[in-house]
Amino acid sequence: MRVTVNDEAVEIAEDATVTALLATLGISEKGIAVAVDWAVLPRSEWDHALTDGAKVEVVTAVQGG
């Protein structure tokens, strides 16, 4: 299955979840937000399977001023 993560195509397992995707990409779950198909996904829903063609955005929280 293919999804797009931050504008880059990624091949993942058919039953992959957001949690599995982050682990595969080596992205820490700490201090990030995830949107799937333009909707912010609560962390409690990261274990639901992604769908083929999903657009995933991973955003890191940055502090500054």
Q: Under CATH, which architecture does the 2-60 domain have? A: Roll (3.10)
Instruction: Please provide the average confidence, as pLDDT, over all residues in the chain.
Output: 94
Q: Rounded to two decimals, what is the model's pTM? A: 0.89
> Side by side, which strands form the sheet with 2-5?
8-11, 2-5, 55-60, 32-36, 39-40
pLDDT digits (tens, 9 = 90+) for 17-37: 999 999 999 999 999 999 999
pLDDT for 61: 79
Tell me the domain boundaries of the chain.
2-60
For residue 64, name the pLDDT band (cuts at 50, 70, 90).
Answer: confident
pLDDT value for 62: 80
